[in-house]
Structure 1
Amino acid sequence: MGSEKKRTSTISNNRNLSASGEAFHDRKLAQSEPDLEHVENMDSHDNPKSPTRIKQAQLKLHKHWRRFWCCYLVAVVIFLAIFLPVFFLVAIPAIAQRIVDDTDLPIYGAQILNPKPDRVSFTLHTSLDVPLGLRIRTDPFDLRLFDRNISPTDPYITVGLPTYSLKGKTDMIITRNDTRILNQGQFVETLTRAVYNEKFTLSAKGSTVGHLGALKAPLTLNKDVELNGLNKLSGFSIQSARLLFPNESNGNNLVGTANLPNHSVFTFALGNVTLNLKSVNLTIGQATIENVVLRPGNNPVSLKGTLDIDTVLDNLEDMLAAQKSALEDGDVELSASGNSTVYDGIHIDYYEEILNNLTLTTRIPILEVLGDTLQGLLDNKNSSLGNVLRNVTSILGDLTASSDISNAARSLRVLI
């Protein structure tokens, strides 16, 4: 009896424990279900793409705008009040200046004419290319030419430019007569580099006001332009030369033609240029080229002068020794250096300073000189030596054409 009671009690306890465990599990499950439903609801509200979320955001934005629109309007007005002056006073001038900085200043030609000791007539042919279809009108301004390698950079020539309306590529031809040379040292230095070098740099600077419709912008043109130089007149040649017998009334006994090459785009009016003629380092005469205008390209010129025969004869042995290489080729080497440059009867010091230090060397075929000299004598009816040569030529012609050789020989002996 006691054992059965104990067994019944045990079973009953086990059933109670099982029932309580099931009840606990059911309660946990019931508690967890609302949480899951809450998480699902939270996920649906946090999705920014859900229609409810977007509609709520629009409503909030609309309410915010109705409440604070006047504040935003004031902010925009303040922004424009600050931005627009900065744009027109800073941005527009900066853009216009950048266009000028990026624009090339090509030099198509230049002229230095009518030289005087302190003035020249100056012409410059250039262009400016304004991009983007813009039209810019410039106020008149002074274009200053200077040497950037010399400090201080004082202009040596200032050229006044008129008003220009620039659109696309605009040609600019500037001519100024009697332009004053402001700094002769820098002017000579620039010309020297132009004459002696294959390339040289021309620097130019000027400031003006550019008008883009109703807008104005200060503009500064500051350019370095590389140009071809004269390269020491490389290619200089004396194409023909002959001696005169007798001398002309002014003492000239030498005439000829020469070529002065100009590899640059500059034209120089030099006037009457007198050159020292040299054999090696010995001055043996002078030649003058009148009314020289050195244009781009080859410049054929006529020269007249004197050859000092006595000096040549006194130094003939040394000259022959020094000219051995040229003589072996059948040539005679001749050099020319500047002596004087005179324009309208006035010495041009800055040209003389440059040309007097320049030496041009060429070779002349000896047979051509002799042939031109003989031809000149034959053509000169006032020369006694020419008359002799003409008679000799006539007699030799008769000698070759006549069978009576004895008569021709007697005529030649009488002439001699």
Structure 2
Amino acid sequence: MASAFREDNSHYEPTSPRTSVHGARGGDGEETANAAERPSNDASSADHVQEKTAAAAPLTKKQKVKRHCGKFWWWYLIGSIILLAILLPILFLVIVPAIVQRILDNQAMPVYGGAFIAVSSKELNVSITTSLDTPLPANIDPVTLFMYNAETPEFSPFVNITLPQMHVDGETEINIPGQTVAITNETELIYWFSNVFDNPKVQLSTRGDSVVRLGALHSNAHIQKTVEVSSLNKLSGFGIQHMQLMMPAEANGTNIQGTLNLPNWGALTLGIGNLSLNLMSGDLRIGLITVYDVLIPPGNNTRYFNGELYLDVVFQNLGTILSSQGDALSEGNIQIDATGNSTVVNGEHIHFIEAILNNRRVTSMIPVVKLVGDLISSFTNGSQVSIPNLLDDVFGNSTLIQDILTHWNTTTTAGDSTAAKGKRSQPSLRKGVLGPGLSLLKLGMKMGMGKF
């Protein structure tokens, strides 16, 4: 038994260093073994500390947002859909239309040119040139523009025109081509044309609705604008430039022709067909002339006319005429006024033009020397002619002509009621009226007969 026990102990191998019963340290071999174990334990502790340090390092803001969105992305998607469902209708139905409307409201839309041409008593041919200045490129669908008077309490357009589809980007010129349109309210048109004739500037109001497209977006827009347009200013500068008697007169009575100036101070070309004008001296109608195919663009316009000068009325009422010419004659002029008589296009009277011009009066001042020279040279051609005999051929009344010429050589006072004995009674004239007028008349006759 004892040997067997010993055999087992011989195979026993301790797993830890042995110590003495008294606690003494082992030999050198034991310390060496402990020294070899320490570095391994220290390395393990260092790795553990580093792991804790790395795990405890704070995340950046970007990392936090990314981790948060990754965790709650579904909720954000639902919230975005709800938000867009609320905001997009506001954007498209409120914000964009408001921006577009504000841009249109800020447009000046000046009228640079255009035309109003009478086609018939019920139609006009209208064209307009204007401009738009937009901060964004846009396309505008065709729009019907109604023209009306802003002063009229109730909206009452007199014509409407169609603005074609157009693209605008920055300052863009807009040309509305000539289009024949129906007159929808003649009373309002007469009111507007009256202002065109009477004033240096006239207001033109327009209104319409269209669709403005900003790329894929589109918005309904309302156009309402009142602009000032230069106008006729009472035809200031109107005048007969040249007048010639036609002898013998034509079968229809035409015995006068010449040229006159029709000034247009406005921006719009006006066309009113054949215009007939009464020639007036004071309240006496002394003739009727016609200007053909009147189309007057801006500026001075020389136009041919012909018609009838009522020579019998002129000489039979010479005293009355000279009395009414006192102020003009004192400055060496003859005043001939003109009023509208008729306006005709293609044989049809244009009532809305006649309603205006037939109630307006324009004045032409003609130098006496030029007028008399033109008239006398019309039928003398520079030859030596006896004026009484010439006028006798015209009127067949030499006694009347002799009395008129005799009357020119005498002056009467304001209180005289009869002329000298043996003379026919003549109209009373203001003293001094005939003096300068007669001198100028004689000078004109001399010029006409080639004596000056």
TM over 0.5: yes
Q: 1:243 to 1:66 in 2, by over 3 A?
A: closer
2:190 pairs with 1:185: no
Cα distance in structure 2, aligned partners of 1:306 and 1:77: 86
Question: Whose helix fraction is larger, Structure 1's or Structure 2's?
Answer: 1
Q: Report the counterpart of residue 143 of structure 1 in structure 2.
A: 145
Contact 2:161 2:179 in 1 (8 A): no
Contact 2:134 2:169 in 1 (8 A): yes
**Is 1:86 aligned with 2:86?**
no
Counterparts of 1:171 and 1:246, CA distance in 2: 55
Q: 1:64 to 1:113 in 2, by over 3 A?
A: closer
Instruction: Find the partner of 1:109 among 113, 116, 135.
Output: 113
User: Is the Cα–Cα contact under 8 Å of residues 343 and 349 in structure 2 kept in the other structure?
Assistant: yes
1:270 is aligned, of 265, 269, 272, to: 272
* Inter-CA distance 62–217: structure 2 relative to 1 (3 Å threshold): closer
- Residue aligning to 1:296: 298
CA apart distance, 1:85: 2.1
Give the letter for the 1:99 counterpart: I
Paired amino acid for 1:189: Y
Structure 2 letter corresponding to 1:301: R
Determine if the alignment matches structure 1 residue 96 to structure 2 residue 125. no
* Percent identity between the two aligned chains: 38
| Total equivalences in the alignment | 331
Match of 1:206 in 2: 208
Kindly indicate whether the alpha-carbon contact (under 8 Å) linking 1:331 and 1:365 is maintained by their aligned counterparts in 2.
yes
Which whole-Å deviations, capped at 9, do the CAs of 1:21-78 have from their partners, x for residues lacking one? xxxxxxxxxxxxxxxxxxxxxxxxxxxxxxxxxx9xxxx9999999988777755553
The answer to whether the 8 Å contact 1:159/1:176 transfers is no
Aligned-partner residue type, residue 345 of structure 1: G
1:171 corresponds to which of 160, 169, 173: 173
CA contact (8 A) 2:286 2:309 kept: yes
How big is each residue's C-alpha offset from its partner over 1:340-359, in whole Å with a ceiling of 9 and x where there is no partner?
00111111111111111110
User: Which whole-Å deviations, capped at 9, do the CAs of 1:239-274 have from their partners, x for residues lacking one?
Assistant: 122333332332122222110100111112111111
Q: Secondary structure at the match of 1:341?
A: strand
Stretch deviating more after TM superposition (71-80 or 104-113): 71-80
Change (3 A) 1:252 1:69: closer
Bigger strand fraction: 1
Partner of residue 370, structure 2: 368
C-alpha separation in 2, matches of 1:299 and 1:239: 11
- What SS does the aligned partner of 1:357 have? coil
- Equivalent pair of 1:121/1:175 in contact (CA under 8 Å): no
**Residue of structure 2 equivalent to 1:22:** none
- Aligned counterpart, 1:251: 253
Rate the CA distance shift 1:82–1:243 in 2: closer, same or farther, 3 A.
same
Q: Is the 8 A contact 2:114 2:129 kept in 1?
A: yes
Matches within 5 A, 1:294-373: 294-373=296-375
Tell me the CA shift for residue 108 of structure 1: 1.3
Contact 1:244 1:373 (8 Å CA) reproduced: no
C-alpha distance 164-246 of structure 1, shift in aligned 2 (>3 A): same
1:146-192 per-residue CA deviation (whole Å, 9 max, x = no partner) reads 11111321221111222212212222222243311111111111111
Deviations 1:294-328 (A, max 9, x none): 11110101221222222222322222222111112
Deviation at 1:84, TM superposition (A): 2.6
Q: Which position in structure 2 is the counterpart of 1:11?
A: none
Residue 229 of structure 1: how far off its partner (Å): 1.3
TM-score using structure 1 length: 0.72
Give the Cα separation in 1 of the matches to 2:189 and 2:69: 71
TM-fit CA distance, 1:116:
0.3
- Bigger-Rg structure (1/2): 2
Q: Deviations over 1:348-405 (max 9, x none)?
A: 1111111111101121111112211232224499x999x999xxxxxxxxxxxxxxxx
Q: Specify the alignment match of 2:43 in structure 1.
A: none
Tell me if structure 2 keeps the 8 A contact 1:118–1:181. yes
Change (3 A) 1:224 1:283: same
**Cα distance between partner residues in 1 of 2:240 and 2:217:** 60
Partner SS state of residue 188, structure 2: helix
Match of 2:198 in 1: 196
- Quote the Cα distance in structure 2 between the aligned partners of 1:191 and 1:165: 32
Looking at structure 2, the residues matched to 97 and 104 of structure 1 have their Cα atoms a distance apart, in angstroms, of 14
Distance 2:217 2:373 in 1: 74
Deviation at 1:86, TM superposition (A): 0.9
Q: How does 1:6-85 map to 2 (within 5 A)?
A: 75=79, 77-85=81-89
1:160 equivalenced with 2:157 (yes/no): no
Q: TM-score, normalised by structure 2?
A: 0.67
Q: Distance in 1 between matches of 2:213 and 2:347?
A: 48
Could you tell me how far apart the structure 2 residues matched to 1:146 and 1:293 are? 24
Bigger mean CA deviation after superposition, 67-76 or 200-209: 67-76
- 8 Å CA contact 2:118, 2:350 repeated in 1: no
Distance 2:386 2:246 in 1: 12
Give the counterpart letter for 1:108 in structure 2: Y
SS at match of 1:278: strand
> Which residue type is aligned with residue 124 of structure 1?
I
Q: Structure 1: which 5+ runs fail to align?
A: 1-54, 390-416
